[in-house]
Amino acid sequence: MPRDFSRRSLLKLLSGTAMAAPFAHLLTSSVAEAADAAPLRFIALFTPHGFLPEYWTPKGSDTGFNIDFENSVLQPLQRHRDKLLVLDGLDYRVLYEHGRTGHEGGPVTFLTGSEVEVSSGDELPSGPSLDQVIGNAVGGATQFRSLQLHAFEQFGAQHVYNSISFTENGSRVPFELNPANVYKRLFGSLGGSPAEAQAILSKRKSLLDYLIKDATRLKSRLAATEGTKLDTHLAALRDIERRLTNTGALNCARPDAPSDALSDLGDINNMPGLTELHMDLIARAFACDLTRVVTMTIPGPSMPWIGIDEDIHNDIAHRTDTQGEPARTQIRLRMVQVQRWYAEQVARLMDSLKAIPEGSGTVLDNTLILWGNELGDAAGHMNVSIPTVLAGGAGGKFRMGRMLSLRPGKDPLGSWPGPGSPLPGAVEHNKLLTSIAQAFGVNVDRFGHPDYTGTLPGLT
């Protein structure tokens, strides 16, 4: 009589050896996962200090937008213009409509869409961040559901300004400062040379061959319902086999370990190198399909490598509303230097992802980057018109290569009485979070605070 195995029993049968561990997470792939479509990936980048509208906002029309003008903050992204969707006029309504303004609420609500909860004595959201929700939806197909990276820690690890990733109950997800630790976590079990990598792949393929043959023999002993389930897992196993026999699998050879020259994580002069290392590891992790979800914070207490030795927060951001000349222009152009350096890092990450072939395109084509901030206009220190950029190909989910003006020709503040009151014409960033979640297959009609529903029109 055919045996009626449970799903758990089937998985145990197919993944019960130690050698299967490197790809055991793929054994639950669905038939759709086993299709030829490349996986969609998500990166959230958070940088601080707000922006200056005249230097950040693209000129021209939404479809003919121009970022290649004098002192344009986004100019470093010009070479990726066709992979940008610049969002102008998105607000953290959940902050200012609940009486909150300024810096600290931004990191909390950036990916959560939540108001800031202070009942515990800490500043936390009431729910999970977008990266964790996406990671739970798609991360089961990879070794790591998500990665949380940070280029330079300020104020102590638990400070509200350091975290953008949160669990279901609103707790902070620990981030990793040291690229050496990220490297060990991602690549510690991989061979160091192409020959060693090929040997590991051959062993894995041999085990896959055994599993496929054994599962095929097992099918004749199963009831029809369980046989159908086994067909699904066989399709996934054959897809893994196809990936391993693809020459692109050799891209998973272990990269060089990070240099000890950057081991002092507290030296601000090391921040550019640490940022670069983290971003290189993101690219390698995506190439190996070790993860599909990453968050990264790039702070900026000062930037001596570009001649910004003063405290950016207090000596530049808080003084961008200076009225007297030439001080006003000098201060604001120094803020442009800061924000352009951040744009250069985003462009460099896009370069790295574009350099990795995938199918008929590149990894960049199948990645969505969300680059955000905690403030709108730095001078006003308000959470209104937050500078937001979507970048990458987004797997075709969104229509890139344009600007989306969400309240064109309107003074965003107008006659607004201030925090605690609705702002006429405001568009909440919760709608963007909902749209991104849906793009990754998450079935939601809102994200974060329940007052803000629906998706963001105009993305597709």
The mean per-residue pLDDT over the stretch 202-231 comes to 70
Strands 147-150 and 293-297 turn out to be parallel
* pLDDT surpasses 80 at 53: yes
Least confident range of 21-25, 195-199, 428-432: 21-25
Highest mean pLDDT among 116-130, 283-297, 414-428 belongs to 283-297
pLDDT tier at 410, thresholds 50, 70, 90: low
Under DSSP, the state recorded for 358 is E
What pLDDT was estimated at residue 236? 64
pLDDT tens sequence across 280-319:
999 999 998 889 999 999 988 999 999 999 998 889 988 8
Is residue 368 helix, strand or coil? strand
Q: Are 343 and 73 in contact (CB under 8 A)?
A: yes
pLDDT for position 192: 56
Q: Global pTM? A: 0.81
Query: Which is more confident, 192 or 5?
Result: 192
Question: Is residue 350 over pLDDT 90?
Answer: yes
Which range, 176-180, 210-214, 239-243, has the best average confidence (pLDDT)? 176-180
Q: Residue 388: what pLDDT?
A: 95
Q: How confident is the model at residue 105 (pLDDT cuts 50, 70, 90)?
A: confident
Q: How confident is the model at residue 205 (pLDDT cuts 50, 70, 90)?
A: low
State residue 267's pLDDT score.
87
Determine the pLDDT at residue 365.
Answer: 96
Average pLDDT over residues 429-457: 95
Neighbours of 177 (CB within 10 A): 18
- What distance in Å separates the CA atoms of residue 52 and residue 387, rounded to the nearest whole number? 9
- The predicted pLDDT at position 206 comes to 72
pLDDT value at residue 364: 96
Q: Side-chain half-sphere of 344: how many Cα atoms within 13 Å?
A: 10
Predicted pLDDT of residue 22? 39
pLDDT at site 340? 96
Tell me the Ramachandran region of residue 197: left when phi exceeds 0, alpha when psi lies from -120 to 50, beta otherwise: alpha
Is the predicted pLDDT of residue 118 greater than 70, yes or no? yes
- Residue 153 or 369, more confident: 369
Q: In terms of DSSP H, where are the helices of 41-117?
A: 53-56, 93-96, 105-109
Structure tokens at 169: 């109950």
